[in-house]
Structure 1
Amino acid sequence: MPALDDFNDEPADQAVQALRACNAAPRFAAEVAAGRPYRDVETLVGRSEDVARGLPWDEVLLALAAHPRIGDRVEGDSTEAMSSRTEQSSLTGADDATRDALLDGNRRYEERFDHVFLIRASGRSPAEMLGELQRRLGNDDETERAEVTEQLAQITALRVRQLVGATATGERASQGAPATEERNESGAEPVR
């Protein structure tokens, strides 16, 4: 895992490749890499959340295609596969009834929304994830797209922190709070 200084200094193509393991949307990696150098991890994570939240739906769908179903056994040794296994580790202790309900819920969700159910699994119990899945099955398309995008931003933030070897210093990313509160008069992020 590169430190922030290493991430800031590596060639652009390497930074983009590393970021694609955090969020597979091409626009995400390009925009975040273009913002280097970042003064600190919080600025990098905040920018990552902002970019993920601002992705158009077609890019969100590209990112979703790289995520396994909640409860599926994740195969492979890619950075993204390893992250998914770690994030979903709480499911290893799930009972059979919860696993079966997640499988059924995933199937119904995919039939309803035509994409994989995405949730930040890190820090959530199997029962919490199942409850969220069942609740979100009642969402209309627009509401669900907003929830998916927010979950993607939270997952992305966790993965970007891991990318630069940072430990979470706050729970902002996992709680969905705004990534940056400081804005200039035009509403844009301040210059780094």
Structure 2
Amino acid sequence: MGAVEVFNALPAERLEAELLACCAAPAWAATVAAKRPFADRVGVLAAADAASGVLTWPEVLQGLSAHPRIGERATGDSQEAAWSRAEQSAAAQTADDVTRAELVAANRAYEERFGHVFLIFASGRSQAEILAAARERLGNDEAVERAVVTGELGRIARLRLERMLDAL
């Protein structure tokens, strides 16, 4: 049985838990689950992308609630925490002490400005790249930044969903 067939056959409670590990917004998980059965992987990912695109701002904030600050290690033994640690691990290895300190300051400034954690698709990025993005995004107005955050949350959810499918 292929990954999509296994995905389609998962009991509702297990599927919900798996999807919430990809994106902690219950509306996202419910929307993806409601589209079952899927014919193929492309369909699953398209449903996830579509679900990300229609999240309300309060739903995006629910999704953000599960993300640690950039540069902070996610705690716990959940799948979501493991993915978060993996996504940030390469960046953490590329940072020097000055960059780490500047990222802490940028995180603080970002949270003061926007009222939530700085979220970025960290996979494949160095801490210097993440720091530059944080500084740049501090110049965004609220509407622009909300759109950016929603997009970044969707990219992270998609990557995690791909990993989930690969593990099935």
Shift of 1:84: 0.2
Shift of 1:126: 1.2
Unaligned runs of 5+ in 2: none
Alpha-carbon deviations, 1:62-88, whole Å to 9, x = none? 110110000002211101100000000
Normalised by the length of structure 1, the TM-score is 0.83
Matched residue, 2:54:
54
Matched residue, 1:72:
72
Shift of 1:38: 1.2
Higher helix fraction (1 or 2) = 2
Distance 1:131 1:106 in 2: 12
2:145 partner amino acid: E
Matched residue, 1:107:
108
Shift of 1:92: 2.4
Matched residue, 2:3:
3
Alpha-carbon deviations, 1:33-85, whole Å to 9, x = none? 01011111122112111101210000000110110000002211101100000
Distance 1:124 1:93 in 2: 9
SS of residue paired to 2:125:
coil
1:59 partner amino acid: E
Matched residue, 2:148:
147
Distance 1:75 1:158 in 2: 20
Poorly superposed stretches of 4+, deviation over 6 Å: none
Shift of 1:4: 2.0
Deviates most, 39-48 or 115-124? 39-48
Shift of 1:27: 0.5
Distance 2:62 2:29 in 1: 12
Task: Give the count of matched residue pairs.
Answer: 165
Distance 1:41 1:96 in 2: 41
Matching of residue 86 in structure 1 with residue 86 in structure 2: yes
Distance 1:139 1:100 in 2: 22
1:42 partner amino acid: V
- Equivalence map 1:95-174=2 (5 Å): 95-165=96-166
Matched residue, 1:170:
none
Distance 2:131 2:49 in 1: 25
Alpha-carbon deviations, 1:144-170, whole Å to 9, x = none? 00000000010000000001117xxxx
Deviates most, 136-145 or 125-134? 125-134
Task: Check conservation: 2:94, 2:126, Cα contact below 8 A.
Answer: no
Shift of 1:22: 0.3
Alpha-carbon deviations, 1:122-179, whole Å to 9, x = none? 111111111100000000000000000000010000000001117xxxxxxxxxxxxx
